[in-house]
Amino acid sequence: MDISKYPLVTVQGKSKLLGETEQFRLYECRLPDEGGAGILKIAATTAENPLLDREAFLLRAMRDEAKRLEEEYALVKEDPSILLNYQITFPNLVESFIAEDQDDRRVNILSFVGVADDIGRLVPIEQIVFRDRVRIDPKTSAWIMGKLLKLLVFLHDQGIVAGGVDGENILIERDQHYIALFDFTEANIYGVGGLPANLAAKDIAKAAKQVILALGGDPATGVLPADDQLKSRDYELFLHNLAEENEHDAARAHEAFYRLVRALWPSRGFHPFTAYPL
């Protein structure tokens, strides 16, 4: 199969390169039948084909599990408008194939539910500090951390270690409060019940460190800037505890985190993305 089915977006006559690593390159492409914007992820060489093949396997399994959980939840939920929306938190695998016209390198075609019209709305969390030169307020950090923990609960329940929970791989959509992990080539699956506790703790710690950094804090010490939203050090200490790899149970961390958030900020209204200059 060739990649002509997914034409690359061009800028000034050149294919729009979104990023690259030693293992793969990323291009913006168009999905067929007015399917919107997509990402063409191609292995750098055939030696990296197994990485993209494993990623494709994981994304299929995750999509099937997200669908199953949504169907189960539909049978018991009282409000039909409430959804689990796990499928928003990772890429949708449109197709995976060996591109014969690209030296037999594997290609994964990816899209994101909810931002099909403009994938540029999803930006890496590290851009908040390093490009935009701002820090988020604690209430903004709460929905980011909460949704990251929810995603890790979903992954860890399947025995999947995300691995690449870093500032470049955590994507956020500021207006709709979407959180997603993009690259799963570093992920490993251990199966239900086989997840090593130390690796689960590392996933949680990496997420907490990125949130501390986005808050303008020090990921090493956990110290956060003073903020009127924080009347005590409880929030700071909770994040630091996670960042120190002291918690390996994402479900327990998720439950404890929201107990703390509800105690700190009883009002549960929608809080827009808010940031201050560094």
Q: Are residues 44 and 74 in the same domain?
A: yes
User: Given a cut of 90, is residue 13 above it in pLDDT?
Assistant: no
Q: Are residues 130 and 31 in the same domain?
A: no
Q: Are residues 183 and 218 in the same domain?
A: yes
User: Given a cut of 80, is residue 42 above it in pLDDT?
Assistant: yes
Q: Are residues 136 and 270 in the same domain?
A: yes
**Domain of 115?**
3-119
- Give me the pLDDT at residue 90, please: 96
Over pLDDT 90: what percentage of the chain?
83
Q: Are residues 152 and 203 in the same domain?
A: yes
Q: Are residues 69 and 165 in the same domain?
A: no
User: Given a cut of 80, is residue 34 above it in pLDDT?
Assistant: no
Given 89, 119, 149, the domain boundary residue is: 119
Number of domains in the chain: 2
Q: Report CA dihedral (113, 115, 120, 122) to the nearest 10 degrees.
A: -60
pLDDT band, residue 116 (cuts 50/70/90): low
Strand runs labelled E in 79-184:
92-99, 105-111, 123-124, 134-136, 160-161, 170-173, 178-181
Arithmetic mean of pLDDT, 6-33: 90
pTM tops 0.85: yes
Q: Are residues 153 and 246 in the same domain?
A: yes
Q: Are residues 38 and 99 in the same domain?
A: yes
Q: Are residues 237 and 249 in the same domain?
A: yes
Given 119, 134, 159, the domain boundary residue is: 119
pLDDT band, residue 11 (cuts 50/70/90): confident
Dihedrals phi, psi of 125, to nearest 5 degrees: -65, -30
Q: Are residues 112 and 127 in the same domain?
A: no
Arithmetic mean of pLDDT, 83-95: 94
User: Given a cut of 80, is residue 117 above it in pLDDT?
Assistant: no
Contact 179, 170 (CB under 8 A): yes
Strand partners, 111: 92
Residue range 187-236, pLDDT digits in tens: 999 988 889 999 999 999 999 999 999 999 999 999 999 999 999 999 99
Q: Are residues 156 and 112 in the same domain?
A: no
Q: Are residues 97 and 170 in the same domain?
A: no
Given 85, 119, 153, the domain boundary residue is: 119
Residue range 136-195, pLDDT digits in tens: 999 999 999 999 999 999 999 999 999 999 999 999 999 989 999 999 999 999 988 889
